[in-house]
Amino acid sequence: MKLLLVLLLFGCSHLYAQSSLKNSMVLGEKIYLRKCAACHGKNGLGKEKRIPPLANSDYLANNQESSIRGILFGLKGEITVNGVNYNRKMKAVKLSDLEVANVMNFIQNSWGNKNKKSVTKEAVAKIRAKH
Protein backbone atom coordinates (compact mmCIF):
# COMPACT_ATOMS: atom_id res chain seq x y z
CA MET A 1 0.00 0.00 0.00
CA LYS A 2 2.83 2.41 0.86
CA LEU A 3 4.53 1.67 -2.45
CA LEU A 4 1.33 2.46 -4.31
CA LEU A 5 1.03 5.76 -2.44
CA VAL A 6 4.66 6.67 -3.23
CA LEU A 7 4.16 5.85 -6.91
CA LEU A 8 0.96 7.86 -7.01
CA LEU A 9 2.62 10.89 -5.39
CA PHE A 10 5.61 10.66 -7.73
CA GLY A 11 3.33 10.40 -10.75
CA CYS A 12 1.29 13.41 -9.65
CA SER A 13 4.37 15.53 -8.97
CA HIS A 14 5.83 14.56 -12.37
CA LEU A 15 2.57 15.52 -14.11
CA TYR A 16 2.49 18.80 -12.17
CA ALA A 17 6.07 19.58 -13.24
CA GLN A 18 5.20 18.89 -16.89
CA SER A 19 2.05 21.01 -16.61
CA SER A 20 3.97 23.79 -14.88
CA LEU A 21 6.60 23.83 -17.66
CA LYS A 22 3.90 23.95 -20.33
CA ASN A 23 2.17 26.84 -18.57
CA SER A 24 5.47 28.68 -18.26
CA MET A 25 6.16 28.15 -21.96
CA VAL A 26 2.75 29.54 -22.95
CA LEU A 27 3.41 32.68 -20.91
CA GLY A 28 6.99 32.82 -22.17
CA GLU A 29 5.90 32.73 -25.80
CA LYS A 30 3.76 35.83 -25.27
CA ILE A 31 6.72 37.64 -23.67
CA TYR A 32 9.05 36.45 -26.43
CA LEU A 33 6.78 37.75 -29.18
CA ARG A 34 6.48 41.11 -27.40
CA LYS A 35 10.09 41.63 -26.31
CA CYS A 36 12.44 39.38 -28.32
CA ALA A 37 10.97 38.51 -31.72
CA ALA A 38 11.77 41.89 -33.30
CA CYS A 39 15.46 40.94 -33.23
CA HIS A 40 15.58 37.15 -32.98
CA GLY A 41 12.56 36.59 -35.24
CA LYS A 42 9.22 34.92 -34.58
CA ASN A 43 10.82 31.60 -35.47
CA GLY A 44 14.02 32.16 -33.44
CA LEU A 45 16.28 32.20 -36.51
CA GLY A 46 17.94 35.55 -35.72
CA LYS A 47 19.42 37.67 -38.49
CA GLU A 48 22.29 36.22 -40.49
CA LYS A 49 25.68 37.18 -39.05
CA ARG A 50 24.12 40.02 -37.06
CA ILE A 51 21.81 38.49 -34.45
CA PRO A 52 22.36 34.91 -33.31
CA PRO A 53 19.66 32.30 -33.70
CA LEU A 54 17.87 30.83 -30.73
CA ALA A 55 16.57 27.93 -32.83
CA ASN A 56 18.66 24.77 -32.48
CA SER A 57 21.16 26.85 -30.51
CA ASP A 58 24.19 25.12 -29.07
CA TYR A 59 25.00 28.29 -27.12
CA LEU A 60 21.60 28.29 -25.44
CA ALA A 61 21.88 24.59 -24.62
CA ASN A 62 25.35 24.93 -23.09
CA ASN A 63 25.17 28.38 -21.49
CA GLN A 64 21.91 28.67 -19.59
CA GLU A 65 23.20 31.05 -16.90
CA SER A 66 24.96 33.25 -19.48
CA SER A 67 21.74 33.36 -21.49
CA ILE A 68 19.78 34.46 -18.42
CA ARG A 69 22.43 37.11 -17.66
CA GLY A 70 22.13 38.31 -21.27
CA ILE A 71 18.42 38.91 -20.82
CA LEU A 72 18.87 40.56 -17.43
CA PHE A 73 21.93 42.72 -18.07
CA GLY A 74 22.50 42.69 -21.82
CA LEU A 75 25.35 41.06 -23.66
CA LYS A 76 28.44 42.43 -25.33
CA GLY A 77 31.51 40.75 -26.66
CA GLU A 78 31.95 37.84 -28.98
CA ILE A 79 29.93 34.65 -28.67
CA THR A 80 29.82 31.64 -30.96
CA VAL A 81 26.48 30.11 -31.83
CA ASN A 82 26.31 27.02 -34.01
CA GLY A 83 29.84 27.68 -35.27
CA VAL A 84 29.22 31.32 -36.25
CA ASN A 85 30.80 34.22 -34.33
CA TYR A 86 28.62 37.15 -33.27
CA ASN A 87 29.93 40.34 -31.74
CA ARG A 88 27.09 42.79 -31.39
CA LYS A 89 25.66 44.35 -28.27
CA MET A 90 22.33 43.09 -26.93
CA LYS A 91 20.49 45.46 -24.62
CA ALA A 92 19.07 44.25 -21.33
CA VAL A 93 15.39 43.39 -21.42
CA LYS A 94 13.31 44.83 -18.60
CA LEU A 95 11.50 41.78 -17.24
CA SER A 96 10.65 40.42 -13.82
CA ASP A 97 12.37 37.27 -12.57
CA LEU A 98 9.23 35.27 -13.36
CA GLU A 99 9.03 36.72 -16.89
CA VAL A 100 12.70 35.84 -17.54
CA ALA A 101 12.07 32.29 -16.30
CA ASN A 102 9.02 31.95 -18.55
CA VAL A 103 10.75 33.27 -21.67
CA MET A 104 13.77 31.03 -21.01
CA ASN A 105 11.49 28.01 -20.63
CA PHE A 106 9.85 28.90 -23.93
CA ILE A 107 13.04 29.38 -25.96
CA GLN A 108 14.79 26.37 -24.37
CA ASN A 109 11.95 24.13 -25.55
CA SER A 110 11.11 25.60 -28.96
CA TRP A 111 12.52 25.41 -32.50
CA GLY A 112 14.49 22.21 -31.94
CA ASN A 113 15.77 23.12 -28.46
CA LYS A 114 15.03 20.58 -25.75
CA ASN A 115 15.70 21.37 -22.10
CA LYS A 116 13.03 19.94 -19.84
CA LYS A 117 14.67 21.32 -16.69
CA SER A 118 12.59 24.39 -15.94
CA VAL A 119 14.14 27.73 -15.15
CA THR A 120 12.53 29.10 -11.99
CA LYS A 121 12.04 32.67 -10.85
CA GLU A 122 14.18 31.78 -7.82
CA ALA A 123 17.08 30.75 -10.06
CA VAL A 124 16.76 34.01 -12.01
CA ALA A 125 16.64 36.03 -8.75
CA LYS A 126 19.82 34.32 -7.59
CA ILE A 127 21.60 35.25 -10.84
CA ARG A 128 20.27 38.81 -10.64
CA ALA A 129 21.53 39.14 -7.04
CA LYS A 130 25.02 37.87 -7.97
CA HIS A 131 25.59 40.60 -10.55
CB neighbourhood size of 9 (10 A): 10
Residue-wise pLDDT tens digits, 11-42: 444 434 456 999 999 999 999 999 999 999 99
Cβ(120)–Cβ(101) under 8 Å? yes
**Residue range 38-49: average pLDDT?**
94
Which pLDDT does position 115 carry in this prediction? 87
**Residue range 99-108: average pLDDT?**
98
> SS3 string of the chain?
CHHHHHHHHHHHHHHHHHHHHHHHHHHHHHHHHHHCHHHHCCCCCCECCCECCCCCCHHHHHCHHHHHHHHHHCECCCEEECCEEECCCECCCCCCHHHHHHHHHHHCCCCCCCCCCCCCHHHHHHHHHHC
- State the maximum Cα–Cα separation within the chain, in Å, rounded to a whole number: 60
Percent of the residues in the chain that have a pLDDT greater than 90, as a whole number: 80
pLDDT at 122 over 50: yes
